């Protein structure tokens, strides 16, 4: 009963606040007072441009807010993510060629009602961008971990599922670490029909060997360009 009361209070407090700043990986502000972290860009800025190298291993994104501009570089060769040249500690980027090939094959060969071994059936017209992985800081409860990731992981409708998974791992009212990774997919980049979604998986360990629940696929979310 006490645990249920704690969860209820936490959820009520979060709804009252409306939104929470992410409690993710080490902030770039530790290195620079003027450079926001990747999670802050994802929450509060708009994407102005996106460039992907021919082999898919280098993604460059420009974020803007008013007259403020910041550049993100995701490098699949050394697995780093940088904001204005500052590495985002604890956040990694990988371009998995096997995932890219599988996604392309499934989109071109499967019937619309045929399911695959992925978290959900493939979404027609989308292509694989890359895989990002990271972890959260120590959190007092599963809900705060979930809220910290809502602004980072693309797509809609997955927050409640994440909360359900993490609540099942509740221990002494504190979750030391929640590791995760997500495969990012998109279509119509740099157009008025730019959409993204992600396939998400939580882990207990940094090596991603101990899964927390099953993976799932979010509902595609529209990416609004600065002038839209």
pLDDT of residue 98: 86
pLDDT of residue 178: 73
pTM: predicted TM-score of the whole model, two decimal places: 0.69
CB atoms within 10 A of CB 65: 15
Buried b (16+ CB within 10 A) or exposed e, 76-96: beebebbbbebbbebbbbbbe
In terms of DSSP H, where are the helices of 110-213? 142-150, 159-167
Residue 211's pLDDT band (cuts 50, 70, 90): confident
Of 2-6, 9-13, 164-168, 223-227, give the range with the top mean pLDDT: 223-227
pLDDT of residue 34: 78
User: Which is more confidently placed, 211 or 118?
Assistant: 211
Of 7-11, 112-116, 136-140, 182-186, give the range with the top mean pLDDT: 182-186
Residue 216's pLDDT band (cuts 50, 70, 90): confident
CA dist 161 and 195 (Å) reads: 21
Three-point CA angle 81, 175, 120, nearest 5°: 60
Given phi > 0 = left and psi -120 to 50 = alpha, else beta, which region is 86?
beta
Task: Give per-residue pLDDT as tens, 128-166.
Answer: 999 999 886 655 555 556 656 666 677 655 555 666 666
pLDDT of residue 135: 82
Task: Give per-residue pLDDT as tens, 62-93.
Answer: 999 999 999 999 999 999 999 999 999 889 99
pLDDT of residue 115: 37
Task: Give per-residue pLDDT as tens, 89-130.
Answer: 889 999 998 888 877 766 656 454 443 334 455 577 899 999
Radius of gyration (Cα) for the chain, nearest Å?
Answer: 18
Report the chain's terminal Cα–Cα distance, integer Å: 48
């Amino acid at each position: 009963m006490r645990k249920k009361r704690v969860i209820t209070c936490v959820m009520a407090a979060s709804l009252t606040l409306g939104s929470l700043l992410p409690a993710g990986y080490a902030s770039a502000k530790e290195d620079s007072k003027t450079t926001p972290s990747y999670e802050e860009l994802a929450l509060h800025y708009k994407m102005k441009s996106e460039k992907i190298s021919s082999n898919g291993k280098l993604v460059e994104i420009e974020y803007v807010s008013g007259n403020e501009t910041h550049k993100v570089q995701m490098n699949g060769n050394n697995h780093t993510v940088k904001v204005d040249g500052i590495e985002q500690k604890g956040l990694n980027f990988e371009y998995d060629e096997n995932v890219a090939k599988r996604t392309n094959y499934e989109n071109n060969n499967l019937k619309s009602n045929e399911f695959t071994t992925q978290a959900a059936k493939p979404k027609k017209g989308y292509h694989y961008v890359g895989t990002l992985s990271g972890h959260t800081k120590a959190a007092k409860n599963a809900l705060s971990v979930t809220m910290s990731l809502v602004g980072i992981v693309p797509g809609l409708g997955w927050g409640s599922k994440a909360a359900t998974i993490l609540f099942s791992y509740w221990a002494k009212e504190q979750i030391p670490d929640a590791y995760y990774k997500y495969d990012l997919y998109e279509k119509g980049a740099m157009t008025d029909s730019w959409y993204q979604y992600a396939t998400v998986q939580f882990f207990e360990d940094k090596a991603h060997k101990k899964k927390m629940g099953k993976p799932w696929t979010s509902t595609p979310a529209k990416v609004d360009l600065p002038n839209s």
